[in-house]
Copies of this chain bind each other. A is one copy, B any other.
Amino acid sequence: MSKTPPLEQKRALERLRALDQERMHLARVTALLQWDEETCLPSGAVEERAEQLAVLEGLTHEKLVNPEVGRLLDNLGDGTGLETAEFPAGDFLRILRRDYDRAVKLPPEFVRESARAAGLSQAAWVRARKNNDFAAFAPHLEKMIDFARQKSVFLGWGCSPLGDTRGSVYDGLLDLHEPGLAEGDIAAVFGPLGDRLSALLRDISARPQPADAFLHHQYEVEKQDTFCRETLRALGFDFNRGRLDLSAHPFTTTLGFDDVRITTRYAAEDPLSGLFSVIHEGGHAFYELALESALRSSCLAEGTSMGIHESQSRLWENVIGRSRAFWKGWFPRFKEFFPSQLEGVPFESFYRAVNMVRPALIRVEADELSYSLHIILRFELEQQLFNNTLTVNELPAAWNTAMKRRLGIEPAFDAEGVLQDVHWSMGAFGYFPSYALGNIYGLQFWERLTADLPDTDAALERRDYAAIHEWLREKIHHYGRRAEPSFLIRKICGGDLSAEPFLHYIEKKYTELYGL
């Protein structure tokens, strides 16, 4: 191929970028419809919003599976010679090719059918959880597992009739959320991690708990909101490029290159719940807001994977937000907001209360240590379900056994056990591991960051986050989808996925906190 690409190729790339941009704009509009639904939508308009969403999602899909996109991708190949300082054509073609292939491999009737089944399944799950009736949900779950299995096969995994198998059916589902990681890679890390965390949790459970009654006084919600906004701004969130709103479940969503919105919720008797949601979602937002501008409006303009995203939110929420240095910086200010509630509370008592470890049944309420155990348990059950060593009917009992083994406690009924999460009812299998991968990646990054920036604790104490942002931006954020998770880990940490830094951090922190 000649060094200067023919004008024709340049034009083809421009055209492909325009098509991709139109699709990305529609995807952002879809995100606005969803954000509005969670934060603003009048209750009477829910059904109609679903129709609007279906139209938008249909159009977005159409834009992606447009045969012109396929032809242009074929023409442009790997983009040799098209790379410029302004635009990473090679990465663009590689990622768009992946999106396109995934989309065209799924037959439209299959997509429609599974979306319809997911809607019914979710509704059935809501009822089943309310009535604590797993049996009523089981047939839907079986269907969702079957759809997920078919999807993976369509995408070329498992026992594909075409013989182009790349890995197990479950590998295919994992690949949707964490490209490049197979179940074997994850199991090799999760297994030992689970054992060591369980052991630590057992030791901690035998120790006395710190007092935390002062965290359950009445904390005025308006003041919590003011404090959270001040904190979020100080952490580096640019309110000219995003918003903080209220919703039933906290989330982050990207409505544009300069419009990333997060939400939280406040409870008067639990002032840290709203704050840690803000910091967690803020971590997601910092990632989306630090992409290099060359990626603007293209399919590259997103975090690279669920796991890397979660590494950012958990880094900010836990490693930074629950650290002694962070609260050295913020506790005095927090006391100014809530002087009566925190009267006479010494710093160390507060710090210990912030980091209380207590095995609990519900994942979303779990502490920093137990959280990964909840995930490992789900991963192992998903593996068994997709490898046919566990049936849906056996699932509740398997769940309870795993809880007992991993966390030392057992749910009294399925609503607080196997029925607690929405994910499986929507067919989102292979998604859970991202959460624990986030913890693992996060500490791999943090180990390097603190080696590069030995002053970090002092910076946190003076509430100066600039160097941390700069490091994360340069090493991780700016790439967007250009860099795969494995590339980032290798480039930053010089090795593969490893839970050692996370375990080291957890064991050190909680050994000290609980005087083990």
- Report if A452 contacts B (CB, 8 A): no
- Report if A90 contacts B (CB, 8 A): no
Tell me the bound Cα distance from A41 to B240 in angstroms: 9
Could you give, for residues 37-60 of chain A, a 1 whenever the CB lies within 8 Å of some chain B CB and a 0 otherwise? 000111111011101100110010
- Report if A297 contacts B (CB, 8 A): yes
Residues from chain B with a CB closer than 8 A to the CB of A47 are 258
Whether B241 pairs with A44 at a CB distance below 8 angstroms is yes
**Stretch among A25-33, A210-218, A425-433, A489-497 lining the B interface:** A25-33
Whether A25 pairs with B55 at a CB distance below 8 angstroms is yes
Residues from chain B with a CB closer than 8 A to the CB of A49 are 256, 259
Residues from chain B with a CB closer than 8 A to the CB of A239 are 42
Residues from chain B with a CB closer than 8 A to the CB of A52 are 25, 28-29, 256
- Report if A242 contacts B (CB, 8 A): yes
Using known A-B contacts A33-B29, A52-B29, determine if residue A42 contacts B258 with beta carbons closer than 8 Å.
yes
Whether A36 pairs with B33 at a CB distance below 8 angstroms is no
Could you give, for residues 296-308 of chain A, a 1 whenever the CB lies within 8 Å of some chain B CB and a 0 otherwise? 0100000000000
A-side interface size class? 20 to 34
- Report if A436 contacts B (CB, 8 A): no
- Report if A424 contacts B (CB, 8 A): no
Tell me the bound Cα distance from A295 to B361 in angstroms: 49
Whether B25 pairs with A51 at a CB distance below 8 angstroms is yes
Residues from chain B with a CB closer than 8 A to the CB of A36 are 32, 36
Tell me the bound Cα distance from A238 to B43 in angstroms: 10
Tell me the bound Cα distance from A352 to B166 in angstroms: 82
Whether A241 pairs with B25 at a CB distance below 8 angstroms is no
Residues from chain B with a CB closer than 8 A to the CB of A48 are 256-259, 297
Residues from chain B with a CB closer than 8 A to the CB of A484 are none
Residue in contact with A256 in the complex, picked from B29, B45, B241, CB distance below 8 Å = B45
Tell me the bound Cα distance from A52 to B47 in angstroms: 24
- Report if A102 contacts B (CB, 8 A): no
Residues from chain B with a CB closer than 8 A to the CB of A29 are 29, 33, 52, 55-56
Q: Which A residues have a C-beta under 8 Å from some C-beta of B?
A: 22, 25-26, 28-29, 32-33, 36, 40-45, 47-49, 51-52, 55-56, 59, 238-243, 255-259, 297
Closest 6 A-B residue pairs measured CB to CB?
A: A45-B259, A44-B258, A48-B256, A44-B241, A45-B258, A44-B240
Apart from A29-B29, A51-B297, list 10 A-B contacts with CB within 8 A: A25-B55, A29-B56, A42-B239, A42-B240, A42-B243, A42-B259, A44-B238, A45-B241, A45-B256, A49-B259
